[in-house]
Every structure is written in C-alpha cells, then in structure tokens.
Structure 1
Amino acid sequence: MAHIEYYFATLSPFTYLAGTRLEEIAAKHEASVMYKPLDIMALFARTGGVPPKDRHPSRMEYRVQELQRAKVKTGLPLNLRPAHWPTNPAPSSYAIIAAQKAGGGDLGQLCHSILRACWAEEKDVADDAVIKSCLEAAGFDPVLADSGLLAGADTYVQNLEDAVAAGVFGAPFYIVDSGQRFWGHDRLDDLDAHLSGDL
C-alpha cells in the first residue's frame, strides 16, 4: 500500500484549490496519508522562496490570473482578497495535528473546511470559534482546539524540518514513499497516474 506525506499550509489558496482530490485519490489507491501542516513563510525563507507581498509585480499579477483560472477549473468559490488573510496559521495547524493524533473524524474534511473558511467564507482561521466549528463539523471533539496546543506546536516545528529535509519548497506538496514528489494542486492528476503505475 502506498503512503503519501502531505505538506500544506492552512493559508495557501492553492492548497484550498486542491479541494478533496487528495482524499479521493488516496481512497482509490488505498494509500495512507500523513497530514503535515507547516509554516509556509518559514519554508520560503529556508528554501529560497519569496513571500507573496515581496514578489515582483509581474509575479503577483500572474498569481492572480492563475488563481482565477483555477477557480473556474475547480468550480470552488474563491475570494482573491479574503478579509482575514494573512492571519496566524498556527492555531488551525495545531488543531489538525491534534485531530490526526486523536482520530475518529474526517481529517480531509477538516483541512478543507479550514481552508474554505479563509478563502470562501470570510472567516478568520486563527479564531478559536472558527476552528472549533470546523473540528465539530468534521466529526472531531472541538476541545482538541485547546488540548492539543503543546504537542501541536512541537509537531508543527518538526513538520517544517521534515519538509526541508525532504525537498519541499511550496504548498501543497505530496511525497509518495516511492520517492516521487508532486508540487501544486495542479499535479494531482500526475500523482493519481503515478499511483496507477502509468507515470
């Protein structure tokens, strides 16, 4: 059975635009998934990336065009300038880490609901009430938003170290135990084909 290490950021529009495709692909191939939320700005600093606010205007204009095209292709609602972006990604990431450890709910749904809250629902994903609502909707105990803070913080830091060591430089990023790496929501078809043995 294949295993996928999934590196992502809870504030990334491209992670949001991946929707639940990873979960569909993993189910199709009976692959396991380890969810590894990380600090994308710290990752950029470690791997030569540039935060969006510091990019050249031509790169920023292209990013907006890419997001608009992806919005149409995926059919997902997307606000290009959400009210609560950027915000602190750590609390939502800690909650995902705690939920993964606790089990009992739908982790893919939790991740997508947090991303959707930011990019489509004008909610602040650093707000405890928003995080607890997402946890509950995905079948997890909302208390995880409070109880998993210390362990979540340690794992969050370790996820960044693991990402750098594994060659991750953006989000979303998928690494299969075969050694193949896939960067971006628009590479999920390639991930599917690889797991099928076609690529």
Structure 2
Amino acid sequence: MPHIDYYFVTVSPWTYLGGNRLEEIAEKHGATITYKPCDMNRVFQSTGGLPLAQRSQARKDYRMQELKRWRAALKMPLTLEPAHFPTNPAPASYAIIAAQAAGGGDTGALVQSILRACWAEEKNVADEAVIRDCLSAAGFDPDLASGGMLTGAMAYEANTEEAIQVGAFGAPFYLVDGVEGFWGQDRLDMLDLYLSGALS
C-alpha cells in the first residue's frame, strides 16, 4: 500500500487549489496520507526560496496571473487578496496535527476547511473560533483548538525539519513512500500517473 507524506502550509493558495484531489487520488490507489503542516518560511530559508513579501515584483505579478488562471480552470472560489493574509499559520497547523493524532474525524476535510476559510471565506485562520468551527465541521472535538497546542507545536517543528531533510522546498509537496516527490497542486495528475505505474 503506497503512503503519501503531505507537506503544506495552512495559508497557501496553491495548497487550497489542490482541493480534495489528493484524497481522491489516494482513495483510487489505496494509498494512505499523513498530513504534515510545517513552517514554510523556515523551509524557504533552508532551500533557497523567498517568502512572498521578499520576491521580485515580476514574480508577484506572475503569481497573481497564475492564481486567476487556476481559479478559473478549477472553478473554485478564491479571493486574490483575502482580508486575513498573511496570518500566523501555526495555530491551525497545531489543530490539524492534534486532530490527526486524536482521530474520529476527517483530516482531509479539516485541512480543506481551514484553507477554504482563508481563501474563499476571508476568515482569519489564526483565530481560535474559526479553527473550532473547522474542527467541528470535520467531525473533531473543537477543544483540540486549544488542548492540542503543546503536541501540535512539537510535531510542527518536527514536520518542518523533516520537510527540509526530505527535499521539500515549497507547498504543497507530496512525497510517496519517502522516495518520489511532487511539488505543487499542478503535479497531482503526475502523482496519479505515478501511483498507476505509468511513470518509471
């Protein structure tokens, strides 16, 4: 059974645009997923990337063009400049980690709910009330928003270090069986082909 380690940040529009395609692909191929939110700014620092604010204007302008194109292509609601971006991704990340460990709900749905809250609903995903609502909607105990902070913080640091070690350098990043990496929601079709055995 293949396994996918999924490295991402809870305020990434590109992660949001992945929607539920990863989960659909995993189900199709009988693959399991471990959700590993991480500190992407630290990953950038270690791998030569730059946070959005430090990128050239040409790169910022192209990012906007691509967001508009992908929004239209995927027919997904997306606010190009949401009211609460950037915001601190850590609290939502801690909640995802705690929820995954606790079980009882749908982790994929939780991740998507948090991303949608930022990019389609213009909510602050660093706000505990928003996180609690997302937890409840995905079938988890909303108290994990606060009760899972310590465990979440420790795992968040570990996820970040692991992401750097395995060669992740941006979000979303999908790693199959610790070997084959795919960067970006626009590589999900390639991930599907790989799991189908169509790529060597």
TM-score by length of 2: 0.98
Q: What letter matches 1:29 in structure 2?
A: H
Q: Distance in 2 between matches of 1:166 and 1:179?
A: 8
Is the 2:36–2:97 contact (alpha carbons within 8 Å) kept by the matching residues of 1?
Answer: yes
Question: In the alignment, which residue of structure 1 is the partner of 2:63?
Answer: 63
Q: What letter matches 1:155 in structure 2?
A: A
The answer to whether structure 1 residue 95 and structure 2 residue 95 are counterparts is yes
Tell me the percent identity: 62
Q: Distance in 2 between matches of 1:64 and 1:105?
A: 34
The answer to whether structure 1 residue 189 and structure 2 residue 183 are counterparts is no
Give, in angstroms, the shift of residue 72 of structure 1. 0.8
Could you give the per-residue CA deviations for residues 5-39 of structure 1, whole angstroms, max 9, x where no partner exists?
A: 00000010000000000000000011010100011
Give, in angstroms, the shift of residue 42 of structure 1. 1.4
Q: Distance in 2 between matches of 1:192 and 1:73?
A: 19
Q: Which residues in structure 2 correspond to 1:140-159 (within 5 Å)?
A: 140-159=140-159
Q: Distance in 2 between matches of 1:181 and 1:62?
A: 24
Could you give the per-residue CA deviations for residues 30-72 of structure 1, whole angstroms, max 9, x where no partner exists?
A: 1010100011111111111011111111111111011111101
Say which SS state the counterpart of residue 4 (structure 2) adopts. Answer: strand
Q: Distance in 2 between matches of 1:148 and 1:178?
A: 27
Question: In the alignment, which residue of structure 2 is the partner of 1:53?
Answer: 53
Could you give the per-residue CA deviations for residues 122-155 of structure 1, whole angstroms, max 9, x where no partner exists?
A: 1000000000000000000001111110010000
Say which SS state the counterpart of residue 174 (structure 1) adopts. Answer: strand
Question: In the alignment, which residue of structure 1 is the partner of 2:28?
Answer: 28
Is the 2:4–2:31 contact (alpha carbons within 8 Å) kept by the matching residues of 1?
Answer: yes
Give, in angstroms, the shift of residue 178 of structure 1. 6.1
Is the 2:9–2:39 contact (alpha carbons within 8 Å) kept by the matching residues of 1?
Answer: yes
Say which SS state the counterpart of residue 7 (structure 2) adopts. Answer: strand
Q: Distance in 2 between matches of 1:190 and 1:91?
A: 31
Q: Distance in 1 between matches of 2:94 and 2:131?
A: 10
> Is there any run of 5+ residues in structure 2 with no aligned partner, and where?
none
Say which SS state the counterpart of residue 6 (structure 2) adopts. Answer: strand
Question: In the alignment, which residue of structure 1 is the partner of 2:7?
Answer: 7
CA RMSD of aligned residues (A): 0.7
Q: Distance in 2 between matches of 1:56 and 1:89?
A: 23
Matched residue count: 199
Q: What letter matches 2:175 in structure 1?
A: I
Q: Distance in 2 between matches of 1:39 and 1:164?
A: 10
Say which SS state the counterpart of residue 82 (structure 1) adopts. Answer: coil
Give, in angstroms, the shift of residue 107 of structure 1. 0.6
> Is there any run of 5+ residues in structure 1 with no aligned partner, and where?
none
